[in-house]
Amino acid sequence: MNDEEKKFALYENFQKVNSIAPEFFEQYEVKRGLRNPDGTGVIAGITNIANVHGYVVSDGVKTPDEGQLRYRGYDLYDLLEDDSSDRRFSFEEVSYLLLMGELPTKEQLARFVSVIDAERELPDGFTASLIMRNTPPDIMNLLARSILLLYAFDENAEDRAPQHEIHTAISLISRVPRIMVLAYYAQQAKYNNGSMIMHRFIPGQSTAETILSMLRPDRQFTPDEARMLDVMLCLHAEHGGGNNSTFTTRVVTSADTDAYSTYAAAIGSLKGWKHGGANHQVLAMQQEIKENVQDWSDEGQVADYLAKIVNKEAFDRTGLVYGMGHAVYTISDPRAVILKKFAERLAVGTEYEAEFELLKNIERLAPEVILKEKGTNKDMCANVDMYSGFVYSMMGIPEDLFTPLFACARMAGWAAHRFEEIVSGKRIIRPAYKTTHSGKRPYKSIDER
């Protein structure tokens, strides 16, 4: 305990002061987490941007259904149907769709890509003074800080006009991936005695190619790797208005603040371990299983260790099988379905094939184990995090970049929701909180307390 803690030891009552009796939530019918009793989300808004579908509610009954994710009405499976490695990159096309509302023509896409390409340059001195100086250990924090500081380089930062909003969004979609890679090497240099590698971006490369080219010391990558990363960016680009970081975007935008403050707030939300940061928990759990299960192909051994996790005897003792289950999806998560297909193509015939089979076993066995150990017959599917860390690892992408890559992709979705909130929201988002104090407390002077 340091001197300040001794002087001001409020932490001793931290739990007591901040605890609210569970019966109050029931008494006032509070929908905690903005969820209804059956797990469905409370409708807090209307959007044309995306639809996340995982169940059907009919006559008050919630029925599981195959997962669907649609961007502006287009099914994700259709947008990413062509998985050939020589296909043109999709992330820029998806970003255009989210921002502009329609799929681009060849000419429109070419112009959009050229604008993104032209915006990658950072202000003079930005890297040396703002990324390499006082570098924090977490890259997400550095991304948020960098976005806030870019406000200072924008003479019209407080402009809410459509032209400026679109320009700011495209600028950040272009720049955040570059800032992310520079931030990673600054972090490695400061905390891990690593080399500070500062590759220039190569004009004309896609977002996925730019990330790999700047990240790899030798700048080399295969077409399959670039296509896989492009798919990952597309899968993470948008996920409806109800996810925490997008709702944060909506809430902050409704207060009529600037774009930079809004996107920095969204990154703060995405960093959370229950949101974008969940991939770290999935990877750590998978690592523990790999270390403790002797034969990864033996379903009995895998099931036995999953039972230990479910019974709070292994991993973090929460009883949760990370990478399984989702707030909306029940039978399937389309992002996981697509990612699993691409992951298998990269893994087959390589040193990663056995690990891929292990993940498939975890996905298949987890619901059975949970039913057997807990009697819970909840519809549960693998979510996108089950395979995302594995894919990144196969590509040699460090774990510190998993969530920042999520942020690079989701910039497009956040921007689309900010635009929609500006035009159609019209009111500051301000839900109600019920107080537990039934009456006025009598005040006593400081000498009487």
Active site members: 326, 385
Asked if 412 contacts 95 with a C-beta cutoff of 8 angstroms, the reply is yes
3-state secondary structure of 75: strand
Residues 6 or more apart whose Cβ sits within 8 Å of residue 395? 212, 225, 228, 229, 346
The neighbour count for residue 314, using CB atoms within 10 Å, is 17
Distances (CA, A) of 214 to 175, 178, 275, 415: 13, 8, 27, 25
* The two structure tokens encoding residue 218: 């030798």
The Cα–Cα gap between 449 and 440 comes to 17
- Hunting for tokens 């039972």 — which residue is that? 307
The neighbour count for residue 55, using CB atoms within 10 Å, is 19
Phi/psi at 143 (5° precision): -65, -45
Compute the 3-state secondary structure of the chain and give helix, strand, coil in percent, each to the nearest 5.
55, 5, 40
**DSSP string over 84-136:** -TTSPPSHHHHHHHHHHSSPPPHHHHHHHHHHHHHT-PPPTTHIIIIISSS--
Distances (CA, A) of 238 to 67, 70, 72, 188, 410: 15, 9, 10, 30, 6
End-to-end CA distance of the chain: 27
Q: What is the DSSP letter of 381?
A: -
